[in-house]
Amino acid sequence: MFQDTTRVDAVMTRCPVIPVLVVNDAALARPMAEALVAGGLTTLEVTLRTPCALDVIREMSKVEGALVGAGTVLNADDLARSVEAGARFIVSPGLTEGVAQAAVRHDVPLLPGIANAGDIMRGLDLGLTRFKFFPATVNGGLPALKALAAVFGQVRFCPTGGITEETAPEWLAHPAVACVGGSWLTSGAFDAGAIERRATVAATLGS
Ligand SMILES: O=C(O)C(=O)C[C@H](O)[C@H](O)COP(=O)(O)O
Protein backbone atom coordinates (compact mmCIF):
# COMPACT_ATOMS: atom_id res chain seq x y z
CA MET A 1 0.00 0.00 0.00
CA PHE A 2 1.23 3.49 -0.76
CA GLN A 3 0.20 6.78 0.74
CA ASP A 4 0.39 10.03 -1.21
CA THR A 5 2.49 11.90 1.35
CA THR A 6 1.92 15.22 -0.39
CA ARG A 7 -1.79 15.13 0.38
CA VAL A 8 -1.30 14.30 4.07
CA ASP A 9 1.39 16.96 4.32
CA ALA A 10 -1.03 19.49 2.85
CA VAL A 11 -3.43 18.71 5.72
CA MET A 12 -0.69 18.83 8.35
CA THR A 13 1.08 21.99 7.24
CA ARG A 14 -1.88 24.31 6.60
CA CYS A 15 -1.91 25.43 10.24
CA PRO A 16 0.33 24.72 13.24
CA VAL A 17 -2.63 23.54 15.33
CA ILE A 18 -5.49 21.19 14.42
CA PRO A 19 -8.43 21.80 16.75
CA VAL A 20 -9.82 18.47 17.99
CA LEU A 21 -13.56 19.07 18.24
CA VAL A 22 -16.13 17.25 20.34
CA VAL A 23 -19.43 18.84 19.34
CA ASN A 24 -22.65 17.85 21.09
CA ASP A 25 -25.01 20.18 19.24
CA ALA A 26 -25.02 20.36 15.43
CA ALA A 27 -26.44 23.89 15.67
CA LEU A 28 -23.07 25.01 17.05
CA ALA A 29 -21.12 23.51 14.16
CA ARG A 30 -21.20 26.48 11.82
CA PRO A 31 -20.57 29.25 14.35
CA MET A 32 -17.75 27.18 15.88
CA ALA A 33 -16.10 26.55 12.51
CA GLU A 34 -16.56 30.20 11.52
CA ALA A 35 -14.87 31.37 14.74
CA LEU A 36 -11.93 28.99 14.24
CA VAL A 37 -11.50 30.00 10.59
CA ALA A 38 -11.79 33.70 11.49
CA GLY A 39 -8.93 33.19 13.95
CA GLY A 40 -6.83 31.52 11.25
CA LEU A 41 -7.30 27.83 12.07
CA THR A 42 -8.78 26.26 8.97
CA THR A 43 -8.03 22.55 9.44
CA LEU A 44 -10.75 21.11 11.69
CA GLU A 45 -10.94 17.61 13.15
CA VAL A 46 -14.47 16.59 14.16
CA THR A 47 -14.34 13.58 16.47
CA LEU A 48 -16.91 10.83 15.95
CA ARG A 49 -17.56 10.85 19.66
CA THR A 50 -20.98 12.46 19.63
CA PRO A 51 -24.18 11.23 17.98
CA CYS A 52 -24.35 14.34 15.78
CA ALA A 53 -20.71 14.19 14.59
CA LEU A 54 -21.56 13.39 10.96
CA ASP A 55 -24.02 16.29 10.83
CA VAL A 56 -21.30 18.49 12.32
CA ILE A 57 -18.92 17.44 9.52
CA ARG A 58 -21.63 18.30 6.95
CA GLU A 59 -22.32 21.70 8.50
CA MET A 60 -18.69 22.68 9.06
CA SER A 61 -17.85 21.71 5.49
CA LYS A 62 -20.12 24.54 4.30
CA VAL A 63 -17.89 27.14 5.98
CA GLU A 64 -15.69 28.86 3.45
CA GLY A 65 -12.01 28.14 3.99
CA ALA A 66 -12.55 25.21 6.33
CA LEU A 67 -10.86 21.87 5.63
CA VAL A 68 -12.93 19.45 7.67
CA GLY A 69 -11.84 15.95 8.65
CA ALA A 70 -13.05 13.22 10.96
CA GLY A 71 -11.32 12.10 14.15
CA THR A 72 -11.76 9.11 16.46
CA VAL A 73 -12.23 6.97 13.35
CA LEU A 74 -12.00 3.43 14.72
CA ASN A 75 -12.77 1.19 11.74
CA ALA A 76 -13.55 1.04 8.03
CA ASP A 77 -17.26 1.74 8.60
CA ASP A 78 -16.50 4.92 10.54
CA LEU A 79 -14.19 5.98 7.74
CA ALA A 80 -16.77 5.32 5.01
CA ARG A 81 -19.49 7.24 6.90
CA SER A 82 -17.11 10.14 7.49
CA VAL A 83 -16.12 10.41 3.84
CA GLU A 84 -19.78 10.18 2.85
CA ALA A 85 -20.50 13.12 5.21
CA GLY A 86 -17.75 15.15 3.52
CA ALA A 87 -14.64 14.50 5.62
CA ARG A 88 -11.55 15.39 3.60
CA PHE A 89 -9.06 13.74 5.93
CA ILE A 90 -9.20 11.01 8.56
CA VAL A 91 -7.57 10.84 11.98
CA SER A 92 -7.60 7.68 14.09
CA PRO A 93 -6.32 7.18 17.63
CA GLY A 94 -4.44 4.03 16.61
CA LEU A 95 -3.24 2.20 13.52
CA THR A 96 -5.12 -0.76 12.10
CA GLU A 97 -4.79 -2.39 8.71
CA GLY A 98 -8.57 -2.09 8.29
CA VAL A 99 -8.55 1.69 8.61
CA ALA A 100 -5.40 2.02 6.48
CA GLN A 101 -6.93 -0.07 3.68
CA ALA A 102 -10.22 1.83 3.85
CA ALA A 103 -8.34 5.13 3.48
CA VAL A 104 -6.73 3.84 0.29
CA ARG A 105 -10.10 2.55 -1.03
CA HIS A 106 -11.77 5.90 -0.35
CA ASP A 107 -8.73 7.85 -1.55
CA VAL A 108 -8.63 10.03 1.56
CA PRO A 109 -5.54 11.23 3.49
CA LEU A 110 -5.07 9.32 6.76
CA LEU A 111 -3.31 10.38 9.94
CA PRO A 112 -3.30 7.27 12.13
CA GLY A 113 -2.25 7.26 15.77
CA ILE A 114 1.01 5.64 16.86
CA ALA A 115 2.42 5.26 20.36
CA ASN A 116 5.72 3.43 19.89
CA ALA A 117 8.36 2.14 17.46
CA GLY A 118 6.40 -1.03 16.66
CA ASP A 119 3.35 1.00 15.63
CA ILE A 120 5.51 3.15 13.35
CA MET A 121 7.08 0.07 11.78
CA ARG A 122 3.63 -1.40 11.05
CA GLY A 123 2.72 1.95 9.51
CA LEU A 124 5.85 1.99 7.35
CA ASP A 125 4.99 -1.53 6.17
CA LEU A 126 1.62 -0.14 5.05
CA GLY A 127 3.31 2.73 3.21
CA LEU A 128 2.52 5.37 5.84
CA THR A 129 5.00 7.98 7.07
CA ARG A 130 2.74 10.59 8.73
CA PHE A 131 1.31 9.82 12.16
CA LYS A 132 -0.54 11.26 15.09
CA PHE A 133 1.60 10.71 18.23
CA PHE A 134 -1.07 9.78 20.75
CA PRO A 135 -1.57 10.25 23.64
CA ALA A 136 1.43 12.55 23.39
CA THR A 137 2.11 13.83 26.90
CA VAL A 138 1.37 10.68 28.91
CA ASN A 139 3.22 8.63 26.35
CA GLY A 140 6.59 10.08 27.18
CA GLY A 141 6.06 13.61 25.94
CA LEU A 142 8.62 15.44 23.86
CA PRO A 143 11.56 13.24 25.02
CA ALA A 144 9.75 10.18 23.64
CA LEU A 145 8.98 11.92 20.36
CA LYS A 146 12.62 13.00 20.02
CA ALA A 147 13.78 9.41 20.54
CA LEU A 148 11.34 8.08 17.93
CA ALA A 149 12.14 10.84 15.44
CA ALA A 150 15.86 10.08 15.73
CA VAL A 151 15.24 6.51 14.55
CA PHE A 152 12.58 7.19 11.92
CA GLY A 153 14.04 10.13 10.02
CA GLN A 154 11.45 10.10 7.24
CA VAL A 155 8.47 10.27 9.60
CA ARG A 156 6.50 13.42 10.52
CA PHE A 157 4.18 13.70 13.49
CA CYS A 158 1.10 15.44 14.78
CA PRO A 159 1.39 15.04 18.56
CA THR A 160 -2.03 15.12 20.25
CA GLY A 161 -3.23 14.58 23.80
CA GLY A 162 -2.45 16.85 26.70
CA ILE A 163 -0.97 19.65 24.59
CA THR A 164 -1.86 23.23 25.52
CA GLU A 165 -1.38 26.73 24.14
CA GLU A 166 1.59 27.03 26.53
CA THR A 167 3.30 23.75 25.59
CA ALA A 168 2.52 23.66 21.85
CA PRO A 169 5.52 25.85 20.87
CA GLU A 170 8.09 23.42 22.32
CA TRP A 171 6.54 20.56 20.32
CA LEU A 172 6.33 22.65 17.15
CA ALA A 173 10.00 23.57 17.48
CA HIS A 174 11.00 19.96 16.72
CA PRO A 175 11.64 19.47 12.99
CA ALA A 176 9.72 16.17 12.89
CA VAL A 177 6.57 17.85 14.20
CA ALA A 178 4.42 19.17 11.36
CA CYS A 179 1.54 20.31 13.58
CA VAL A 180 -0.10 19.53 16.92
CA GLY A 181 -3.67 18.63 17.78
CA GLY A 182 -5.60 19.82 20.80
CA SER A 183 -9.01 20.42 22.27
CA TRP A 184 -8.18 23.61 24.14
CA LEU A 185 -9.53 25.87 21.38
CA THR A 186 -13.15 25.02 22.09
CA SER A 187 -13.09 23.79 25.70
CA GLY A 188 -15.78 25.08 28.05
CA ALA A 189 -19.18 26.51 27.19
CA PHE A 190 -19.51 27.69 23.59
CA ASP A 191 -18.18 31.22 23.22
CA ALA A 192 -17.44 32.30 19.65
CA GLY A 193 -15.35 35.29 20.75
CA ALA A 194 -13.16 33.20 23.03
CA ILE A 195 -12.72 30.54 20.35
CA GLU A 196 -11.65 33.13 17.79
CA ARG A 197 -9.21 34.69 20.25
CA ARG A 198 -7.65 31.31 21.10
CA ALA A 199 -7.49 30.40 17.40
CA THR A 200 -5.75 33.67 16.61
CA VAL A 201 -3.03 32.85 19.13
CA ALA A 202 -2.76 29.22 17.99
CA ALA A 203 -2.49 30.15 14.31
CA THR A 204 0.83 31.90 14.90
CA LEU A 205 2.39 29.32 17.24
CA GLY A 206 5.67 27.90 16.06
CA SER A 207 6.31 30.66 13.53
O1 LIG B 1 -10.65 11.38 19.96
C2 LIG B 1 -9.53 11.33 19.51
O3 LIG B 1 -9.26 10.69 18.49
C4 LIG B 1 -8.47 12.09 20.15
O5 LIG B 1 -7.65 12.66 19.49
C6 LIG B 1 -8.44 12.16 21.63
C7 LIG B 1 -8.44 13.55 22.20
O8 LIG B 1 -9.59 14.25 21.85
C9 LIG B 1 -7.26 14.38 21.77
O10 LIG B 1 -6.13 13.68 22.16
C11 LIG B 1 -7.29 15.74 22.34
O12 LIG B 1 -6.73 15.69 23.58
P13 LIG B 1 -6.67 16.96 24.52
O14 LIG B 1 -6.19 18.11 23.71
O15 LIG B 1 -5.71 16.54 25.60
O16 LIG B 1 -8.06 17.15 25.05
| Tens-place pLDDT, residues 116-135 | 999 999 999 999 999 999 99
**pLDDT tens digits, one per residue of 54-105:** 999 999 999 999 999 999 999 999 999 999 999 999 999 999 999 999 999 9
- 183 CA to middle of ligand 1, Å? 6
Residue 187's pLDDT is what?
A: 95
Residue 127's pLDDT is what?
A: 95
**ipTM score assigned to the predicted complex:** 0.94
Q: Which residue CA neighbors atom 13 of ligand 1 most closely?
A: 161
- For residue 206, what pLDDT band results from cuts at 50, 70 and 90? confident
Catalytic residue flag (residue 62): no
**pLDDT tens digits, one per residue of 27-46:** 999 999 999 999 999 999 99
Domains of the chain and CATH, by start:
5-203 (3.20.20.70)
- 157 CA to middle of ligand 1, Å? 15
Give residue 138's identity as a one-letter amino acid code: V
Residue 4's pLDDT is what?
A: 81
- 159 CA to middle of ligand 1, Å? 10
As a whole number, mean pLDDT of residues 48-59 equals 98
- Does residue 1 register a pLDDT over 80? no
Ligand 1 atom nearest to CA at 164: 14
As a whole number, mean pLDDT of residues 166-188 equals 97
As a whole number, mean pLDDT of residues 157-177 equals 98
Ligand 1 lining (C-beta closer than 6 Å): 20, 47, 49, 71-72, 93, 134-135, 160-163, 182-183
Q: Which residue CA neighbors atom 16 of ligand 1 most closely?
A: 183
Residue 3's pLDDT is what?
A: 75
Ligand 1 atom nearest to CA at 135: 10
- 82 CA to middle of ligand 1, Å? 18
The share of the chain scoring above pLDDT 90, in percent, equals 97
Mean pLDDT of the chain: 97
Residue 113's pLDDT is what?
A: 98
Residue 201's pLDDT is what?
A: 97
Catalytic residue flag (residue 45): yes
Catalytic residue among 34, 59, 132, 196: 132
Ligand 1 atom nearest to CA at 187: 16
- 125 CA to middle of ligand 1, Å? 26
As a whole number, mean pLDDT of residues 140-145 equals 98
As a whole number, mean pLDDT of residues 146-154 equals 97
Q: Which residue CA neighbors atom 6 of ligand 1 most closely?
A: 161
